[in-house]
Structure 1
Amino acid sequence: MNIQESNRIEEDLSLKLFIVISRAFQSIKKRVEEDIKCYELNLTEFAVLELLYSKGDQPIQKIGDKVLIASSSITYVVDKLEKKKLIERKGCLKDRRITHATITSEGTEFMNEIFPKHKRAIQEICNSLAAQEKSNMIDQLKKLGYHAYAM
């Protein structure tokens, strides 16, 4: 096999890998969204609520980076979760320009109830892979993601 053939095979494999990853992600995301919808939340609302549940109070301005949503959407999502009484805004005592989002006691109770169910749903989605396969895939996808980010 010459260098051109080898390069073409690499290109074809890379394209196929991209397509497989994209389709797998779409299928997984669809199932996760269906699970979250059962709790009368959308994916973005759940992501913000889960962040506050797991990591505690967060500056509203930083939430978008942490849950991978546009900062322009954060205020809308925070407003919706606040109307549902799951989170609240609190001003920062050290810097009045900063406002934190905080999970309420109702929000904590809600997450205590639904989060274990959500984890089981994710586990069911990933059930076709053995533990070692999951671990290997995590390592490989991180490697791919870090490489793409560094380009």
Structure 2
Amino acid sequence: MGDISNDIKSSFKTNKVKALINIKYTANWLSSKENEFFKPYGISPQQYNILRILRGAKGKIKVQIVKDRMIERAPNATRLMDKLCDKELIERERCEHDRRVVYVKITNQGLELLSAIDKHDKLSFLEKLSEEEANVLSGLLDKIR
């Protein structure tokens, strides 16, 4: 089993400092694993999140709602959606009554991509955790926030 002290060759003044560094280190590690996983599909983890949100919406929704539901509050969400439009994975539509409002929806091609991704185990890097441990970890992270 890994130990953050060994991984980064450092010691810590307190266990709370060690926990904070471990959370940051692990978050970066997880981000790297996600990027590796999504690379063959030609999308980023943030774009995957947008596609998931749109699949769950089951129809067109406002761009602002997508931004509000994103796991990572990406200031570049509009640019991420532009790239998904270019790949024909989502479609944009302006509101007839208010030109400032833009709706987006997932295309059939986007749904097919998600279906292909769903067939692979995106969480294989979490296989060392039992369901109970994952629940405890999630509770601890919620407690921090």
Where in structure 2 are the equivalents of 1:61-140 lying within 5 Å? 61-67=64-70, 68-71=72-75, 73-92=76-95, 95-117=98-120, 120-122=121-123, 124-140=124-140
1:95 CA drift (Å):
4.6
Q: 2:54–2:66: 8 Å Cα contact kept in structure 1?
A: no
Partner of 2:61: 58
Segments of 5+ residues of structure 1 without an aligned counterpart are 1-10, 146-151
2: CA distance, partners of 1:17 / 1:78: 35
2:52 partner SS = helix
How large is the Cα RMSD of the aligned pairs? 1.9
2:91 partner SS = strand
Determine what percentage of the aligned residue pairs are the same residue: 25
Larger radius of gyration: 1
TM-score, structure 2 as length reference? 0.80
Q: 1:44–1:69: 8 Å Cα contact kept in structure 2?
A: no
Residues matched between the structures, number: 131
Structure having the higher helix fraction is 1
Segments of 5+ residues of structure 2 without an aligned counterpart are 1-12
1:63 CA drift (Å):
2.4
1:41-84 alpha-carbon deviations (Å, 9 max, x no partner): 1222222112212334331123233212334x122111111111
TM-score, structure 1 as length reference? 0.77
Higher mean displacement: 48-57 or 75-84? 48-57
Among residues 26, 37, 41, which one is paired with 2:43 in the alignment?
41
Letter of the aligned partner of 1:129 in structure 2? L
Letter of the aligned partner of 1:69 in structure 2? R
Letter of the aligned partner of 1:104 in structure 2? T
2: CA distance, partners of 1:74 / 1:24: 24
